[in-house]
Structure 1
Amino acid sequence: MDPRIYRYAMSGDTNSMRKLVKEDQLDLTLQLTVHSNNALHIAAQHGHRAFAEELIRLSPYLLFRSNFDGDLPLHVAAREGHMELVDILIDSLKNIANPDDEVTDLESTDSSMSQAVWLKINLKGNTVLHEAMRFRHTKVAMALLGFDPRLADGLNHAGESPLYLACELRMMVVVERILSCGTFRIEGLNGRTPLHASAISGHYGITPFFVAIQASRPRTTCMILDYCPDIGELRDRSGKNALHISIRHNSLKKLEALMKRPELGGLVNKPDNDGNTPLHTATKYHVYRKVKLMLDTHCVDLRARNEEGLTALDVSELGWEVNPRQISVRKFLLSRGAVRSQFQTQKPQKFRVHPLNRRGVDLKSFCETMSLVAVLLATISFAAAFTLPGGYNSDDPNKGHATLIKKLALKAFLLSDTITFCSSLTLAILMLCGTLGDLVFLRSTAIWCELLLTISLYGSLVAFGTGVYVVISDQCMWLAIIILLMVCSVPIIFDEITRISSKMTPFAVRLQKGLLGQSMKRSIDIVQNTVTVQYSDSEPSST
């Protein structure tokens, strides 16, 4: 190689290189080092983007030339982790390999190679993905997999697949990406699997089986089970099996598909290290439809107790609050014959925690909202009291009297409107006093105000119905009756929607995670030469 070309490639001096090639009419394809590296190899090694772009423009054939190690410039760029340069080389290869482009005589000689040049291996059998992963260049590996997922199906001469390397090097993001490719190899060094690689790496790692479940990849999970049927017996460090993890991280349909696998049929009653079965887990997070799915198998032990001596019914009553989903789960368990443990014969009083009594609740925002609603209700009910339905008499001797005062509906209107006004006004005053008092008094008044607000809302509902009825009943009775029926249906509709919503939660686990602000971290450890994976979830706080 001309020493000037070598120096320019090392320093990235694009202008000097361009001038030299133009003046001396150099053929860049013939400029090779003693190891058969061309100028693009050197530029790729040092990460000179502009220099590489100019080389490709002057001589595209440099992209396809390998050195004595069988490395293409793309191998070198991937090994060095130069992300921008990898993108340029990939884009150039795509453009050159495009069959719609005009193919020159020079390119036609290597047309078959150009179509899959990024899949080419070097003398060690490494693809560009192997090279990127061996030096832990995660971004480069992700870019290569996005360009051509077939790279995940490669196997080098040492018998290492990309999935094996990702597990060994603890590159979790790459593992998840490979598992989503659909086609991949799992072989490893000396016949080992990614599971062995995770164990050897120690400390922080994962197993592909649990990652596939957590990432909601049912097809990948089934592929792993087909290849290794006994992997269903695998547990993480806390003793959780595939069903425990699926309940936490999968939708209902994906959990159902997983439970249909015969390899996992015996996991329904398998407890974790705390004695919690999958039913305990589903009950703990109030996932009604998942609880129902498990009980529909008719092989769930409803009497199973965890290390604290609690059955699934006991767990459903922990932290008891006004929660429709929790209530639905508890009712369903009772309907299926669930029992409490002998240590807990009734719903424990110490666990009945009102949401407003929990730590961290923003009582200030709660009081502001309640005060605003109370003032609005009081204003509306006050105005309604002095604009009575039917109006007032304007003739003597009953001038100023309500024209429809003898009607029962108007009397009901006045009573309900008065109840609404008094309740909402009391609510507003309590909120004002509560904000001026101490925290304990504020919590106490806030809890009482919930009852007052409910009374006010129902009072306004009755006032509306009776007010409309008293005005139009004489002229159109059928319309008045329909309006009353619609008003009376509001509590029924509310109760029905609440009941349905508490059950129809196909993505309840993810919603639960978002609402409770849970965080998850994955850790892996070696216990007596057995790979165990731990998903340590921060439990919901008392808030």
Structure 2
Amino acid sequence: MYVPKYPGLLEEEEEETYQTAETMDPKLYRATTEGDILEFARALEQAHDQYHTPPASCVQLGPQKTTVLHIATSFAHYEIVKLICKDLPFFVVEKNAKGDTALHIAARAGDSLLVTLLVNSDFKDGGLGEKNEEGNTALHEALKYGHEEAARILINKNPEMCYSLNKEGKSLLYLAAEAGFVTIVRLLMDNPVGNYSLGGKHKHKSPVFAAILGRNIDVIKLLWEKDPSSFQLRSGKGKNPLHAAVCMGYTEGVNFLLDKHCEFAYQKDKHGFYPIHSASSKGLVDIIKLMLQQRPDIRELLTAHGQNMLHAAARSGKYKAVEYMLKMPELEKLINEKDEDGHTPLHLATIFGHPKLVGILVRDERVNLKLVNNNRQTALDIAEEQMEMGFTSFQKRLTCMALRVVGAPRAHKPKTFRSITVKHEDQPDTERRRDKINVILLVATIIATVTYTSGLTIPGGYNNINPDQLLEKVKFQEYIICDTIAMYSSIIVAVTLLWAQLGDPSSTRVALKLALLLLGIALAMMSIAFLAGVYLVVSKLRWLANVILFIGSSFIIALAVIFVPLCFLGSLNYHVFRRLSYYPLYLVLYTLGA
């Protein structure tokens, strides 16, 4: 008995049904795509003779249910389109797989001549009211893709035709406003084409918002002139038109709306934000300035969480907006104001890890670093708590250092708090320390190996330089000294960390701080030793030696700037370390734009 190699496969194949795609006569298809009208007419006639049917029942379709009219329109073959519209007008309303008629394709392409040919056919206004799968008529498509002339032709064909909203809930007026077609908007509002009503379930697709999103001030002015009540509609998130203009950074629109309807500035969205808070959270200084000039009392507005405009900017890390606000004497009372959780702007900038902004705030003498939130925490307490919880990203480290470098205070806490914390230290924290130790130990071992090898190797090789002459060169002395310091520093790091593996948690923290400092010294000395060695080798070619010196010095300075915050982060309780770290820290902040 025969046993199939793959049991069940034949049975499945017998049960499967496969659909064959539509196909069009090759000659007819080729003639249509190439625009050969004589060959097209000949192929079409042959198709009629082959099936012995009248032309009206001989509609051949391509794989996507495209007719010859769809194809001719897509390739803009005007003569073929004209011939079909005259002799075979029933093709005009045929739809492809996406529900598009030929008029949809012509309107989407913005081809005015094709649109004219199709709408002037004698078959149902050329398919003017037909919808595709997206619920768009040809007029929707023309407006959506920004073809004003094609839209004008379609409207003039039947101004009174009723058009409903598409599946996105967008009306013709919305699409015209979005495209910025002032003339079309005026035409629709003076002689409405169908249902462009702003009410009902589609109220969130307001033409006013469309005009704002498209930054079309002329359309906004026209909508205000024709229908001011439409400006009272809100978006799905409860935003009014001023919110929308602010979020877009659309200064001209903000100015117009404040001038025409200043009440917008005093309305909240669903998140409890006023427009001034939206502007602050996005750091839009020009709009903040404009709004405060026109409505100065909005600076007193608070969000649903009791946050002022400075809170909003600090939370989002918009340091330019904060700098502008700090320069305004009338906003001084906002600097240390607390929200519902007791957070000042400094607290929020710390929580969300914006070190550059924290640096700007702590350098302002009016900022009170001692203020605590509802949890009795200062900004430094929050930063240190985040570090202890493992939030050790570079941004968080810089934030913590920016506070420590100016001597920001901690809140007074009961002595039992610290003992409980040490006693119940969790296992994940111990694992993180071990990971740090392993990483630093690996780097220290590599440095020790490299510096040991380079200490036994004379720059340039024994055969090229006389050792006695070499000892007299300053760069060689610098090379040997730095290489020696680097090697012994890395060895001390390795020994310290081996000792830390056996110690208690408090000893481990001290060992890590010491090891990190020594590792920074080892990296710096190794870099200087490398620079001195290379300089010594190429010193006969003066220009090259100077280039090497400049490049090496630049990178060593960069290394120091990046590593100082890492090394001294845990040592900034001491005044000398704070002074040492101050300038490198702020150089890092402004270099990285943190």
Shared fold per TM-score greater than 0.5: yes
| Residue 209 (structure 1) shift | 2.3
The alpha-carbon distance between structure 1 residues 448 and 48, as it changes in their structure 2 partners (threshold 3 A), is same
| Residue 328 (structure 1) shift | 2.0
- TM-score relative to the length of structure 1: 0.58
Q: Which residue of 2 aligns with 1:296?
A: 327
| Residue 280 (structure 1) shift | 1.9
Instruction: Give distance in 1, aligned partners of 2:372 and 2:141.
Output: 69
After superposition, what is the alpha-carbon deviation per residue over 1:290-327, rounded to whole angstroms, capped at 9, x for unaligned? 2111111221112322223333344444477xx75155
Q: Which residue of 2 aligns with 1:136?
A: 168
**Is the counterpart of residue 179 in structure 1 residue 213 in structure 2?**
yes
Q: Which residue of 2 aligns with 1:81?
A: 134
After superposition, what is the alpha-carbon deviation per residue over 1:324-344, rounded to whole angstroms, capped at 9, x for unaligned? 51552233333x555543776
SS of corresponding position for 1:309: coil
**Is the counterpart of residue 281 in structure 1 residue 312 in structure 2?**
yes
Q: Which residue of 2 aligns with 1:516?
A: none
Q: Which residue of 2 aligns with 1:341?
A: 371
Q: Which residue of 2 aligns with 1:536?
A: none
Q: Which residue of 1 aligns with 2:359?
A: 328
> Of 456, 462, 473, which aligns to 2:522?
456
The one-letter code of the counterpart of 1:289 is K
The alpha-carbon distance between structure 1 residues 173 and 249, as it changes in their structure 2 partners (threshold 3 A), is farther
Q: Which residue of 1 aligns with 2:586?
A: 499
Gaps of 5+ in 2: 1-53, 72-81, 394-430, 563-582
What percent identity do the matched residue pairs reach?
Answer: 16
Q: Which residue of 2 aligns with 1:270?
A: 301
Give runs of aligned pairs for residues 67-466 of structure 1, distance below 5 A: 73-77=127-131, 81=134, 116-118=152-154, 120=156, 131-133=164-166, 135-136=167-168, 149-150=181-182, 151=184, 154-155=188-189, 164=198, 168-171=202-205, 175=209, 179-182=213-216, 183-185=218-220, 186=223, 192-196=229-233, 198=235, 206-250=239-283, 254-261=284-291, 262-300=293-331, 301=333, 302-318=335-351, 324-334=355-365, 336=366, 338=368, 340-341=370-371, 347-349=379-381, 351-353=383-385, 357-358=389-390, 374=444, 377-388=447-458, 413-424=479-490, 450-464=516-530
Higher mean C-alpha deviation, range 57-66 or range 381-390? 57-66
| Matched-pair contact (CA < 8 Å) for 2:119–2:157 | no
The alpha-carbon distance between structure 1 residues 312 and 60, as it changes in their structure 2 partners (threshold 3 A), is closer
| Matched-pair contact (CA < 8 Å) for 2:471–2:477 | yes
Task: Say how many residue pairs are matched.
Answer: 451
Instruction: Give distance in 2, aligned partners of 1:448 and 1:228.
Output: 63
The one-letter code of the counterpart of 2:483 is D
Higher mean C-alpha deviation, range 294-303 or range 176-185? 176-185
SS of corresponding position for 2:363: helix
| Residue 236 (structure 1) shift | 2.2
Instruction: Give distance in 2, aligned partners of 1:75 and 1:429.
Output: 84
Instruction: Give distance in 1, aligned partners of 2:518 and 2:253.
Output: 54
| Residue 381 (structure 1) shift | 1.9
Instruction: Give distance in 2, aligned partners of 1:366 and 1:140.
Output: 62
Instruction: Give distance in 2, aligned partners of 1:189 and 1:72.
Output: 32
SS of corresponding position for 2:233: helix
Instruction: Give distance in 2, aligned partners of 1:329 and 1:16.
Output: 67
The one-letter code of the counterpart of 2:553 is V
SS of corresponding position for 1:220: helix
Instruction: Give distance in 1, aligned partners of 2:96 and 2:444.
Output: 70
| Matched-pair contact (CA < 8 Å) for 2:173–2:196 | no
| Matched-pair contact (CA < 8 Å) for 2:103–2:126 | no
| Residue 8 (structure 1) shift | 7.0
Instruction: Give distance in 2, aligned partners of 1:216 and 1:458.
Output: 46
Which gives a bigger RCO, structure 1 or 2 (Cα 8 Å, sep 6+)?
A: 1
Instruction: Give distance in 2, aligned partners of 1:241 and 1:160.
Output: 36
Q: Which residue of 2 aligns with 1:539?
A: none
| Residue 257 (structure 1) shift | 3.7
Gaps of 5+ in 1: 19-24, 33-37, 98-112, 513-543
| Residue 440 (structure 1) shift | 12
SS of corresponding position for 1:304: coil
Instruction: Give distance in 2, aligned partners of 1:265 and 1:81.
Output: 47
**Is the counterpart of residue 62 in structure 1 residue 128 in structure 2?**
no
The one-letter code of the counterpart of 2:381 is Q
- Aligned-residue RMSD, C-alpha: 6.4
| Residue 232 (structure 1) shift | 1.4
| Matched-pair contact (CA < 8 Å) for 1:286–1:326 | yes
| Matched-pair contact (CA < 8 Å) for 1:304–1:311 | yes
SS of corresponding position for 2:286: helix
- TM-score relative to the length of structure 2: 0.54
After superposition, what is the alpha-carbon deviation per residue over 1:446-483, rounded to whole angstroms, capped at 9, x for unaligned? 7776444422222224434665788899999xx89x95
SS of corresponding position for 1:232: helix
The one-letter code of the counterpart of 2:214 is S
The one-letter code of the counterpart of 2:252 is R
The alpha-carbon distance between structure 1 residues 163 and 285, as it changes in their structure 2 partners (threshold 3 A), is farther
| Residue 419 (structure 1) shift | 3.2
The alpha-carbon distance between structure 1 residues 210 and 410, as it changes in their structure 2 partners (threshold 3 A), is same
The structure with the larger Rg is 2
| Residue 51 (structure 1) shift | 9.3
| Matched-pair contact (CA < 8 Å) for 1:390–1:404 | no
Higher helix share: 2
Give runs of aligned pairs for residues 451-530 of structure 1, distance below 5 A: 451-464=517-530, 483=549, 487=553, 490-491=556-557, 494=561, 499=586, 502-503=589-590
SS of corresponding position for 1:155: helix
| Matched-pair contact (CA < 8 Å) for 2:174–2:210 | no
